[in-house]
Chains A and B, each alone.
Chain A
Amino acid sequence: MARANLLERLHTIQDTYGYIPENEINKLSDQFDLPRSKVYGTIKFYSMFYTEPTGKYMVRVCDSLSCHLNDSEGLVTAVKNYLGIADGETTEDKKFTLEVVECLGHCGEGPVMMVNDQIYTYLNENRAIQILKDCM
């Protein structure tokens, strides 16, 4: 049962630091008696875990099929242009990280975007940009 709760521990660490720092991986590896490579490999599987700091606002725009049919591509382009960054990048001022993600589970309300824990539905380009402006 060595690995029980590893996932939840990783969440807690990320909730604290915003990412999972190296020394925390070392500690987990000790506590769970696992090679640190295994903890690292587990972290790196998940798209919502980060081993490097991200922007203050994590912006996730869904581009899976249902949203795609509701022009999420246009939304993605607008957000990219507004923030001046590509998928996976962080703005220079460390405020925003943008990720084009798979389904967020609000397929009936697309296109959708998540900013940190908040989900925004039925978006159009202007509203999305307003939401980002409000974060500033």
Chain B
Amino acid sequence: MATALIDGQQVDFESGETILEAAEKVQIKIPTLCHAEDLSIYGGCRICVVEIEGERLLKPACATKISEGMKIKTHSPKVREVRRNIFELIVASHDISCRLNCLTCSRNQSCELREIAADIGANQTRFDPIDKGYDDDRSSVSIVREPNKCITCGRCIRKCEEVQGVGIFTMANRGPATVLTTFGDKGMGNVECTNCGQCIHACPTGALHEVYHYDRVWDMLKDEDKFVVVQTAPAVRVALAELFESKPGTIVTGQMVAGLKRLGFDRVFDTNFAADLTIMEEGTELIGRIEDGGPFPMFTSCSPGWIKYIEHFYPEYLENLSSCKSPQQMFGAVAKSYYAQQHGIDKEDMVVVSVMPCTAKKFESGRGEMDQDVDFVLTTRELGRMVKEAGIDLVNLAEEDYDPMMGESTGAGSIFGSSGGVMEAALRTAYELITEEELEELDFEPVRGAEGIKEAEVEIKGMTVKTAVASGLSNVGQLLEKIKNGEEYHFVEMMACPGGCIGGGGQPIPTNQETVEERMKAIYEIDAGKKKRKSHQNKEVQQLYEDYLGAPNSHLAHELLHTNYIKREI
């Protein structure tokens, strides 16, 4: 242990620690912008510069290792002046104008520049704003990029490359012409983007946000000829409250249902219902593969970011994917057939809206294979906007229940929102279906938690079922490489976003390790509180098979609930 002085405070540190890390230990906050905990060090913004005694120049706290006897001033007059100057330069290059006003920005509540401004006492902007004149990138159906707002901190580049292992972004050009773009400036919709939306969480400004559907949804809600149903994904209920100043992990299922009813949706249903349905289909598929001897491993298919990833990067494994549609799409297909028929609603008049923690779901709903079963996809953030716009005090609403027929769910459906959840839910059902015995211990601890790759072996009727779970696409890629190199599994759950859907690209900002862990706790809390915790116990799902589908993997089930995949170019 060595010691140094930061602002007169003695600090003990381990070798290799940065000034930024050491300062935090003595309760000193150094402002940062291009730095992010889960990403490599960039040292570009220079907002975090500090003064070190004996050094002529200021040093970036994020990139400078603290050393024995160092005397550091983190907020000296020189440092404060330089920070303010840099901030003024950022603001001038951030294209503040009437058109790109802070008030209408996607990040009007969560812009890091505003935080920095407060932290450094910014009190003037002396430079003329620069009109960079770039066109917005609207090539993607999931994500919009507004390059004029981009400050080229490179966080999205690093997130996409380091955390997601995809790397669609790059800096192009140099000097003030430096711009963040995609290969050949083709736009996010025309390259190997998985639509996961993690770049949005990385962005400190409003340069990246989802393609908004909420105005279209408002239109549908006011159209009296439309029968508008909504489904809510498992991960939304444990995150939505964050948009209303509640702590991460606050559960607002009933309040959310009440809020959606107030917004005017004709029916409020649960994607968790469809998750239970998915387990019936996917579990049956898995049992079938076990009986037929493969192909193994079987991959889950609920995460559309993962699906696009495998289509681009590992198309040789497409036949390993479960043919099941995701819960979102199963829901849409069932709503527009079963529910519509049972209630005499013309399919054409029914509008299915999803509330998802996900940006890739927007892409998924538009896939040709999906037959427009889901019409609009709102992110958790978009639902938050609608609730605010309607003046609803969401967190204080009296709780209400989902509507019947597609509103019931088990604990197994609930945990789809967390990495490992689909695996656990599938195992609970597969175990009982195969053994025809009741499963005693429902909690499969080895597949729970925030680690990127988890493995577990389960004994089912004398057979050792080898499973693995990965979340975050670079972990997914690692696991795939392992499989390529001969590692054998029977069943593998893959989720594009770190932590699973609770860390999805459509979730409230900030979404980071801390918020993801809190949301994860809440997900398992919901599961633990349920009387029924196995998908095959879902009465409404049972009813659906009885009245309509017949049996899992039946002909009709295949027609409605299963899909196929496409090999995509890189």
Residues of A within 8 A of B (CB): 22, 25-26, 29, 35-38, 40-41, 44-45, 51
Chain A interface SS verdict (over half): helix
Cα A45 to Cα B170 in complex, Å, equals 11
For A41, give its contact among B166, B172, B192 (CB under 8 Å): B172
The yes or no answer to B570 lying at the interface (CB within 8 A) is: yes
What bracket does the count of chain B residues touching chain A fall in?
Answer: 10 to 19
Determine whether the beta carbon of B191 is less than 8 Å from that of A37: yes
Can you list 13 pairs linking A and B with CB atoms under 8 Å apart?
Answer: A22-B184, A25-B184, A35-B161, A35-B170, A35-B192, A37-B170, A37-B191, A38-B170, A40-B183, A40-B184, A44-B173, A45-B171, A51-B184
The residues of A that contact B170 with a CB separation of less than 8 Å are 35, 37-38, 40-41, 44
**Which chain B residue has the least Cβ–Cβ distance from A51?**
B184
A66 to chain B, nearest CB (A): 21
Determine whether the beta carbon of B173 is less than 8 Å from that of A35: no
Knowing A22-B184, A25-B183, A51-B184 touch, does A37 contact B169 (C-beta < 8 A)? yes
**Which chain A residue has the least Cβ–Cβ distance from B179?**
A44
Cα A40 to Cα B185 in complex, Å, equals 9
The yes or no answer to B99 lying at the interface (CB within 8 A) is: no
For B166, give its contact among A22, A35, A40, A44 (CB under 8 Å): A35
Given A35-B167, A41-B171: 8 more A-B contacts, CB < 8 Å = A22-B184, A35-B161, A36-B183, A37-B191, A40-B172, A40-B184, A44-B170, A51-B184
The residues of B that contact A40 with a CB separation of less than 8 Å are 170, 172, 183-184
B527 to chain A, nearest CB (A): 38
0/1 per residue, B510-551, Cβ < 8 Å to A? Answer: 000000000000000000000000000000000000000000
For A36, give its contact among B171, B172, B173, B570 (CB under 8 Å): B570
The residues of A that contact B192 with a CB separation of less than 8 Å are 35
Determine whether the beta carbon of A37 is less than 8 Å from that of B174: no
The yes or no answer to B182 lying at the interface (CB within 8 A) is: yes
Within 8 A of A (CB), among B391-413: none
The yes or no answer to B113 lying at the interface (CB within 8 A) is: no
The yes or no answer to B480 lying at the interface (CB within 8 A) is: no
Nearest first, the 3 closest Cβ-Cβ pairs linking A and B are: A41-B170, A35-B167, A44-B172
Cα A25 to Cα B166 in complex, Å, equals 17
The residues of A that contact B174 with a CB separation of less than 8 Å are 45
**Which chain A residue has the least Cβ–Cβ distance from B171?**
A41
B196 to chain A, nearest CB (A): 15
Determine whether the beta carbon of A38 is less than 8 Å from that of B173: no
The residues of B that contact A38 with a CB separation of less than 8 Å are 167, 170
Determine whether the beta carbon of A35 is less than 8 Å from that of B168: yes
The residues of A that contact B570 with a CB separation of less than 8 Å are 26, 29, 36
